[in-house]
Amino acid sequence: MRRLSFLAITAVLSLALGPGALAQDAKKDDDKPKDGKKDDKPGDKPKDDKPATEEKNQVKDEGRDTKLPFNPFANVKPGEWVTFVAHVHRERVPPQAADVNVYTTWTVIPNPTEQGKLRLKAVQKGPGRPPTDLEKDLPTGDMTLGQFMAIFGVPDEAKLSDVKCEDAKLTVNGKEFSGKKISFEGGMVGRRAKEILTISTDVRCSFVQHEIIGPDAGDGKPEMSVKEEVLGFGTADKTEWGKSPEEVSKIQNEEEAKRPR
């Protein structure tokens, strides 16, 4: 997996699903006579006529502009960090590769090119590969679902739709978080996945949990499922809760030592 972050997984899923093309073999409606009469001016066609099959298969992207209940990055300061683990399950791969953990540490840093602006820096490590890193600029003010997803690597080609938001309480690694659960569909046309994102003001640098289920592998089971959840967070001076980046690194090394070769 080349992209980083929780939505590195989403990005991989979205891109690996293929660029879902719209049906191209549908016969255009405006090539047919209207009201039983032949069109005497073939070039004078209504501009808003669309092939029926294209209309049916078009996935709307209205979810991208959905405003989040709050901006999780609104009050972050340089040095704040959050650690995550992504539990990834894949079908149709060798058993030893079916279930893997991918760890990410996000840290807020100053933007070196724009004074007063901030960036989010990620360091991510998965089985059998060295750590990789990435930096993303943090927008200020209100934030949309599309902006949030883009920070974590989701490509513009991925369509976000059927967005629902509700109050939620979620216990992760022994700690209860109150916040908002945002469910939606993501991915490409014909290769859609269900996603659930839970955010809380307690986790200032990111989210509490993110789940991806799908798409269907053809046998009624999802091709991939991902559950990424917070392990810890803190500031430059201390760990406020959970696992620090150093502790997560130790866990990574222990799992790597036990991994089948």
What residue ranges do the domains of the chain occupy?
6-17+61-258
Q: How far, CA to CA in Å, does 195 sit from each of 19, 65, 104, 155? A: 19, 16, 19, 15
Asked if residues 222 and 214 have their Cβ atoms less than 8 Å apart, the reply is yes
Cα–Cα distance measured from residue 25 to residue 90, given in angstroms and rounded to the nearest whole number: 33
**12 or 130, greater pLDDT:** 130
Locus of tokens 């690194």: 249
pLDDT above 70 covers a percentage of the chain that reads: 72
Across 242-256, average pLDDT: 92
pLDDT at residue 227 is higher than 60: yes
Task: Answer whether CATH 2.40.360 is correct for domain 6-17+61-258.
Answer: yes
pLDDT at residue 207 is higher than 60: yes
User: Residues 170-199: pLDDT tens digits?
Assistant: 999 999 999 999 999 987 666 788 999 999
pTM over 0.85? The answer is: no
**C-beta atoms surrounding 182 within 10 Å:** 23
Cα–Cα distance measured from residue 187 to residue 223, given in angstroms and rounded to the nearest whole number: 13
Extended beta strands in 111-253, E state? 118-125, 132-137, 161-172, 175-188, 191-199, 209-213, 224-234, 239-242
* The pLDDT value given to residue 224: 84
pLDDT at residue 51 is higher than 80: no
Cα–Cα distance measured from residue 168 to residue 180, given in angstroms and rounded to the nearest whole number: 5
Cα–Cα distance measured from residue 26 to residue 108, given in angstroms and rounded to the nearest whole number: 49
Locus of tokens 């939620």: 168
Across 8-16, average pLDDT: 40
Tell me the pLDDT band of 80, cut-offs 50, 70 and 90.
Answer: very high
**219 or 78, greater pLDDT:** 78
Structure tokens at 124: 């991510």
Select the highest-mean-pLDDT range: 18-22, 44-48, 167-171. Answer: 167-171
Tell me the pLDDT band of 90, cut-offs 50, 70 and 90.
Answer: confident
* The pLDDT value given to residue 218: 67
User: Residues 92-146: pLDDT tens digits?
Assistant: 788 877 888 999 999 999 988 888 899 999 988 777 666 777 888 998 899 999 9
> Of the candidates 139, 111, 107, 110, which has an alpha carbon nearest to the alpha carbon of residue 123?
107
Complete DSSP assignment for 58-127: PPP-GGGGPBPSS-TTTT--TT-EEEEEEEEEESSS-HHHHEEEEEEEEEEEE-SSSTT-EEEEEEEE-T
* The pLDDT value given to residue 24: 26
Sign of the four-CA dihedral 91, 12, 187, 100: positive
Indicate the range of 45-54, 143-152, 187-196 predicted with least confidence. 45-54
Asked if residues 85 and 101 have their Cβ atoms less than 8 Å apart, the reply is yes
Tell me the pLDDT band of 211, cut-offs 50, 70 and 90.
Answer: very high
What does pLDDT average to over the chain? Answer: 78
